[in-house]
Amino acid sequence: QPARCGGLNVDSGINGLASVLEGDGDAYTYIITGDSSSELKIIEGGGGKFVANGTYTSQIFDAGSDVYFNSFAVNHIVPSSTSIQYEVAVATAVNNSCSGVTFSYAGPFATSSALPSTTDNAAYQNPGRCIKYKVTFSTADPTQTPILYDINFNYSL
């Protein structure tokens, strides 16, 4: 769960970034921005702590009405000694809103997959109006990390 820990402000977007972990544990991120007065920004951080895994949970997507979520497709890179696992949760709206909905996940899936309509988890449901996903990244090698570029969901009425 990322948290704001400084005063970095990028008004015109980020065009690229690269991170470097030095042998002594110092970590730096180089950021190329669209800000004409400061196109290169450097952040020092990390303190040399190797993190072997982390989880990202998406925001809720509201399909506007109940739909059947058929499948998802991912564009990712998973080097050896790393892994990515995906979990997907679908729910019906409460009071015509996805706010406050309780989600129960299906998975984990290692790659693009068809989504179930039911699972052993009775709380998971599909079809539904609201969907979100969770991605768990793992690595055993501090020089390798899995990368998720994008995820797309296919659904039908």
pLDDT at 62 > cutoff 90: yes
Give pLDDT tens digits for 79-120: 999 999 999 999 999 999 999 999 999 999 999 999 998 766
Q: 14: Cβ–Cβ under 8 A, 6 or more apart, which residues?
A: 31, 32, 33, 34
Determine what percent of the chain is predicted with pLDDT higher than 90: 57
Whether the bond into 108 is cis, omega within 30 of 0: yes
